[in-house]
Structure formats: C-alpha cells, structure tokens
Structure 1
C-alpha cells in the first residue's frame, strides 16, 4: 500500500504525533496502516457525494480548499488548510509553504486570464487539464490528500468542458508515474486524462 512516493519530511513533522510519522487525526488513531484504511473509507463516502453533487465554485484557491475540507474534515484537523512545513515525495521537492499561497493564486489567475474554461477543442481541453493538474501537483498545497483534492477539482474543470472523467479508469501506479513525469513535462497527465474520459453510451 505504501510506496517510494509517500510523503517524506527530514524532521519530526508538526502534523504528526511526537516521535511518530502518524498524522494527528480526529479519530486518534496511532497506527499508520489503520489510519490509512480509515482515511480511505471516510473519503470514499465523501467522493461518492461529490460524484452526485460536485462542489460548486469559481476555480479559485478557495474552491480547492473547500474540496479538501469536505473530503478530509472527518479525519484531519488541517482539512482545508494550506500546509505549513516543507515536504517531498521520492526525489520530488514540492513548493515551500511560504510560496504556496502566491503560486496557487498564479495558477487560478491563469485559468481565468487565459480563458482556459472557454476552450472548445478536445485536444486543447485535455492539455489545459494536464497543465493545471501539473501545476497544482508540484505546489502540493496540503500536508495530505493532495491527489484526491486536485483530481476532484480537475474533474469539475472537465465538467465545464462537458467532459466526464472517471479516475477509476486508471490506477494508482499510472497516476504516480504521470505525477513524477509531470515535474519536467506539464503534458504528462494527457494520456491518463484521455484514458479516464467517459464516452456517451
């Protein structure tokens, strides 16, 4: 279940219990595997709710924060809050916390100033989704739950294009490989996004 792409910090995390790498949580679970299972169960229920009723928003920083809060509010006290410590995964170092707010502003400003949501061409729509997904991934604004929150925002963005994305059409390893590749290529998610497109029956 755990891989080389798990979150890594070089010092004791402020988000973890003392002398532990288990995130402080509202369930007071102290075992990492047990917490992971509980987290997945809680967020799976929330993801089903969002499938039926996507989070309304204007594709801003607040929109993303609200998605994260909704998904993780039953598990983590930091749900909906930007992280305050440096983290990395594998060889990937994400943006330092003091840069996150500004960089999120830049990404969401670009969506609107470049009118990305008005694109009509399918290939360019996929490229726009991959670009935004890449930018948000390297920022990694949250201490935990980045992938699920970002994918839900991208799914909502796809709906603006009239596209239905089903992340169940891919798998964790494919997503991880694309995320790693996206550090050097903002089109790295294009194939995954195309794979996840649902067509009308």
Structure 2
C-alpha cells in the first residue's frame, strides 16, 4: 500500500518549500527528457507550467493552479514582489504586469518572436539578445501566480535547444553569487518594462529605489552571454569527431581546419611534438571561439595566424643535461 502524500498545509513553511521543490524538480527533469510538443505560444507555455506543478494540488497546495494564468489585478493596483538577495542586504522590489487584456496581448506579441526556425540562423550575440528580450517580456507579464521562473527557464531552454543553442541556466544556481546576479539582471530588465504601467505611487517609489540600487550591475543580455552557446560548439568541444559530425555535419569545415593545422605543424616542426601540440591547441582555441560566436566556416585565418606566431618564436637552445631546469 502506497503512502498518501503529506498535506502541505500541515507542514512548516520550510518543509512546504522543500516538498514543492522535490515535486517540481522531478517534473523539470522529465521535461528535459520529454519536452512539451508545441509551437512556443501561450498554450505551450501553459503546458510547461502545468507539467512542472501538476503534483502540487494533490499534495495539499490548494492555492496552486497548474497551467492557468493568474487573475487580473484590480484597477489602481499593481502586482509587486519583495525580493531578498543572499549577497546584498536590504529588500528589493519588482513590479509585474496587471495580467489584464493588455498584458495578455503583450505576452502573445512576445511569443511571436519565439520561433526556432527564425532564431536558428542567428549568430550567438544576436540570438542571445533576442532570447533575453523574449525572456524579459515574459517575465514582466508574469502570467502565473507562482512558478514563473521555473516555467520560463524550462520554456526558454527548450526554445534555445530547438534553435540550435544550449542555454545553461544551471550555471547561475551553483552559488549564491550566481543566483543573485541572475535575479538582479532579470529584475533590471523587468523594472524598465514595468515603469510606464505602474498604477500606484508607492509601487513606483519602491521600484525606482530598487532600480537605483541595481544600477551598474550586468543586464540580462550581457549575463546570458555566459550561458548561451551553439549546440555544435558544445559538440566540437565535448564529443569525438565522428560523434560531433554525425550530430552536426556543418562542423566539417572546423575539422578540416584542424586536420590541416596538424599537417602544417608536423611539416614545419618535425621532431618537436610539444611545439606541434601547442600550435594545434592554438588553432583549436581559435576555431572553438568562432564556433561559440556562431560561425561555421572560414577558419583559415586562425590557422595562419597561429602558424605565423609559432614560426616567429625563437628557437630554444638544446639542454646539455636531461634534468636541467626541470621543476620538481
């Protein structure tokens, strides 16, 4: 006989938070393996939310409505949250949309840009800027009563994957500093979008004070540069040549460059394996950087530059003793 899930209303706030995290983490992992099949529209976004939070109502979270947008805020009022950061003292405030008809229309408009086929051909900086704009718009609308961050991270990660990019949101969750940097970057973008629509004077005063405190920190498009890479660049770095080419045939030019570099350094530096390896690594670094930037061809410049740099290096004198100058 299976144990009945513990009712959330019988738990402490800390226990309730942990129970929710346990349920939702499992569902997020499932979504990694079996993503929602959709068109990256409002229905797709709702289904992501529904699948992440589907277990909570049955576990006693009576206030959770998976897959449903929150109700509109009354005229003259704002939807505002107070946030506490681990690495910065004092409260911060961020305002979101009232989730009225205008906000719903804004959400649909933002999702018009969430088309994998249109995003796939972009270079990394442009893709990152477009993705950050989509995320900020959706975050400002904040369509769900709770769980917006988990929903949007899952949704945008799937969007990036289908557009040929890897979005590593997890990198920001590995430390308090990383989490706070992400909160700050997101809140800066959201406050900027929220300001023209704030209804109440007290809300405006709080978010302007927060905005002043966050000034000078990295904005979301800049922060995402650390977390976004083309899938083919990751494959080039992590997989064997055979595996990478099977998944990404467009890497053929990159590997052609590496083979040519190996042949070049072997001919120019015979009998010097360490020097050959250093030259190859220099070219590989250049190719990797160009792949990270979204390029797929014309890597010869990196090969020639590395070759020229190696040829200009002075020849090292031969050592007279096998152990001369070695670090112990």
- Shorter-chain TM-score: which interval? 0.7 to 0.9
C-alpha distance in 2 between matches for 1:43 and 1:28: 17
Q: Quick check: 1:88–1:94 contact (8 Å CA) kept in 2?
A: yes
Give the number of the structure whose residues are more often helix, by fraction. 2
1:123 pairs with 2:156: no
Q: 1:173 to 1:50 in 2, by over 3 A?
A: same
Q: Quick check: 2:128–2:228 contact (8 Å CA) kept in 1?
A: no
Aligned to 1:94: 96
Tell me the TM-score normalised to structure 1 length. 0.77
Measured after TM superposition, the shift of residue 98 of structure 1 is 1.6
C-alpha distance in 1 between matches for 2:181 and 2:31: 23
Tell me the TM-score normalised to structure 2 length. 0.49
Structure with more contact order per residue of length (Cα contacts < 8 Å, sep ≥ 6): 1
* 1:100-119 → structure 2 map (5 Å cutoff): 100-111=103-114, 116-119=118-121
Instruction: Point out the more displaced range, 152-161 or 93-102.
Output: 93-102
Measured after TM superposition, the shift of residue 143 of structure 1 is 0.6
Say what the alpha-carbon RMSD is for the aligned residues: 2.4
* 1:46-195 → structure 2 map (5 Å cutoff): 46-76=27-57, 77-86=64-73, 87-90=79-82, 91-99=93-101, 100-111=103-114, 116-171=118-173, 172-183=179-190, 184=192, 188-195=219-226
- Runs of 4+ deviating beyond 4 Å: none
Q: What secondary structure is seen at the aligned counterpart in 1 of 2:226?
A: helix
C-alpha distance in 1 between matches for 2:153 and 2:222: 15
C-alpha distance in 1 between matches for 2:133 and 2:21: 27
Aligned to 2:254: none
Q: 1:133 to 1:96 in 2, by over 3 A?
A: same
What is the count of residue pairs matched by the alignment?
Answer: 174
Measured after TM superposition, the shift of residue 175 of structure 1 is 1.6
- Superposed CA deviations along residues 166-191 of structure 1, whole A, max 9, x for unmatched, are 22111321221111111238x93223
Unaligned stretches of 5+ residues in structure 1: 1-25
Unaligned stretches of 5+ residues in structure 2: 1-6, 58-63, 74-78, 83-92, 174-178, 194-217, 239-328
Q: Quick check: 1:117–1:157 contact (8 Å CA) kept in 2?
A: no
Q: Quick check: 1:82–1:141 contact (8 Å CA) kept in 2?
A: yes
